[in-house]
Amino acid sequence: MLTRRELLLLGGLGALATVTGCVPFIGGNSADGAGASIPPGKFDGRALPIPPLLAPDANGRYVLRAQAGTTELVAGVLTATWGFNGAVLGPTIRALKGDRVRMRIENGISEETTVHWHGMELPAEMDGGPHQPISPGGSWEPEWTIDQPAATLWYHPHPHGSTAEHVYKGLAGLFIVEDPDTEDGLPSEYGVDDIPVILQDRTISTDGSLSWNSEPHVGLIGATMIVNGAHAPTFTAARPLIRLRILAATNARKFNLAFSDDRPFHVIANDAGLLQSPVEVPYVSISPGERVEILLAVRPRDAVVLETRSGTFDIDNGDHPLLQILGAAGLEPLHQVPQRLPGPAAVGVQPGATRRTFELSGTDEINGREMSPTRIDTVVPRGAKEIWQVENRSPYAHNFHIHGCSFKVLEYDGAAPPPWMAGRKDTVFVPPRSGAILAVEFADYANEEHPYMYHCHILRHEDKGMMGQFLVVDHDRVNDAPLLIESNEHTH
């Protein structure tokens, strides 16, 4: 009897298609998910869409307009979606460390929304969390100076209680921070050898509409894999070494990423920055909100598929092909993968550092309570380095994201983290009945009125209240900062 893994290796895509084709609905037993959904398709030459780079307008502002549209997530099937400056997803913003960036966000959809800069270290009033709502027809103009290492960040709505729906409908985009002072020798030609890979899953009804096959605990695990807004796309590499900036922009799904021929690849960056040297792996995992950058060597006439393989949790159930990568016929021989990377120093652990514990329970509570927009749960001194211990007491998989900081994972699931998780991060997976210990370095911006958030990035859990609020304040204000604030100031 062959193992599943051997079957996958022998059967390749055929086996995968059969497996997923038999189970078009995963956990689809809810009322609104009762209709038939579209079965997974094959790689048939549909080109991987590359989100355009956003150029500033005449006033030097990056303008993002949330709007409704229609998208062929699956070729030939029209789906009503939301996007920024287009029908689905949003353009990639690319800026340099040290830049002053000025944004204008316009809300052209029918509901209040926000835009949060996930992974950005910026003043709390610019963060775009639930306290910076934008009314339909309204706009918001945050600005800040980029002051953090080069990294692949992203932006997405964060309206109180509706984040899952707004992201599911298509609102998300990448924000690449580059550092002109650290020459990294890595592929950096956007769309040529520096490729955005935004991974999502959807359940699409046969009439083309997005369906919530509302899975009771996690909200949504889709049956149709979408990469940069397209199902089953192909990227043809014209360079022998490509860099993939991979984002899990899912509501709940965790990806266990490998290539169809099990070829090794190199992890070069975590969420919030480069590693200090590439780590060769056969496989890497990311949960909702996390990013990983990898280098992939491609040979002439190569054909390989990036796929996710079933894990042991409800949120990584199922084997699915994601993206086909072909090597152009005339590829030159591979130049070397760099030995060293100019990654930032790890977050250090200070003797006597404040240690806090965050217990995740059920699917909606941290430290025994649901998020309240008026309650401050934690007060942190500006620029502090602290130890945050995240404990998952529940039988469900969760993860943990902290705004306005980056952290080093000191301990993960009771052991040292794997070498590919050695870099700066802002989101970490927390398996059931397990935990993670983080050395966190907070940004150096104080504000006693606007909190940052920490939360599970499974969006159903976040919306249900598995979230807390913290203020970052001046050192002499830690004991006096307000623990009750006004919620939802409107910006018009």
CB of 67 to Cu ion, least distance (A): 23
Q: Out of 131, 401, 408, 464, name the contact with ligand C2O by CB under 6 A.
A: 401
* Residue 74 interaction partner, one of ligand C2O, Cu ion, none, beta carbon < 5-8 Å per kind: none
Binds ligand C2O by CB under 6 A, chosen from 231, 239, 403, 464: 403
Q: Which of 158, 245, 254, 425 binds ligand C2O (CB under 6 A)?
A: 158
The least distance separating ligand C2O from the CB of residue 304, rounded to whole angstroms, comes to: 30
Quick one: what does residue 398 bind among Cu ion, ligand C2O, none, with the CB cut-off 5 to 8 Å set by partner type?
Cu ion
Answer yes or no: are the C-beta atoms of 331 and 300 closer than 8 Å: yes
Determine, following the binding rule CB under 6 A, whether residue 156 of this chain makes contact with ligand C2O.
yes
Residue 231 binds: one of Cu ion, ligand C2O, none (C-beta under 5 to 8 A by kind): none
Q: How far is CA 163 from CA 13, 110, 421, 445, in A?
A: 34, 15, 27, 25
Residue 490 structure tokens? 């409107």
Q: Does 455 bind ligand C2O (CB under 6 A)?
A: yes
**Residue pair 267/243 in contact by the 8 Å Cβ criterion:** no
Binding to ligand C2O, residues 244-303 (CB under 6 A): 289
Question: What does the CA dihedral 111, 112, 118, 122 come to, rounded to 10 degrees?
Answer: 160
118/266 with CB nearer ligand C2O: 118
Q: How far is the CB of 305 from ligand C2O (least distance, A)?
A: 28
Cβ proximity to ligand C2O, 229 vs 404, nearer residue: 404
Q: What is the footprint of ligand C2O within residues 92-121 (CB under 6 A)? A: 116, 118
Q: How far is CA 282 from the centre of its chain?
A: 21
Q: Which does 156 bind (CB under 5 to 8 A by kind): Cu ion, ligand C2O, none?
A: ligand C2O
SS3 (DSSP) at 113? strand
> By Cβ distance, which residue is nearest to ligand C2O?
118
Q: Positive or negative, the Cα torsion across 335, 336, 337, 340?
A: negative
As measured in angstroms, the least distance from the Cβ of 398 to Cu ion is 3
Question: Which residue type sits at 102?
Answer: R
Q: Six-digit token pair at 362?
A: 């059920």
Question: Can you tell me whether residue 397 is helix, strand or coil?
Answer: coil
The amino acid occupying position 223 is: A
Phi, psi (5° rounding) for residue 233? -90, 165
Binding interface with Cu ion (CB under 5 A): 118, 398, 403, 456, 458, 461
Report the residue from 272, 453, 456, 471 that binds ligand C2O according to the rule CB under 6 A. Answer: 453
Task: State the minimum distance, in angstroms, from the CB of residue 272 to ligand C2O.
Answer: 12
With CB cut-offs between 5 and 8 Å by kind, which of ligand C2O, Cu ion, none does residue 456 bind?
Answer: Cu ion
Minimum distance from residue 128 beta carbon to Cu ion (Å): 9
CA separation for the pair 267, 295 (Å, rounded) = 7
Q: Which helix (H) or strand (E) holds 62?
A: strand 61-71
Q: Are strands 447-455 and 365-366 parallel, antiparallel or unpaired?
A: unpaired
Q: Tell me the closest approach of the beta carbon of residue 158 to ligand C2O, in angstroms.
A: 5
**Which of ligand C2O, Cu ion, none sits in contact with 158, Cβ below 5 to 8 A by type?**
ligand C2O
Note the Cα 318 to chain centre separation in Å.
19
Total residues contacting ligand C2O by CB under 6 A comes to: 10
Using CA atoms of 116, 118, 120, 125 in order, give the dihedral in degrees to the nearest 10.
30
464 part of the interface to ligand C2O, by CB under 6 A: no
Helices (H), 162-321: 163-168
Partner whose binding site includes residue 455, from ligand C2O, Cu ion, none (CB under 5 to 8 Å by kind): ligand C2O
Question: Which listed range, 72-80, 175-183, 350-358, 451-459, lies at the site for ligand C2O (CB under 6 A)?
Answer: 451-459
Q: How many CA atoms lie within 13 A of 231 on its CB side?
A: 24
Counted residue by residue, the chain has a size of 492
DSSP designation for 5: H
Q: Which residues bind ligand C2O (CB under 6 A)?
A: 116, 118, 156, 158, 289, 401, 403, 453, 455, 457
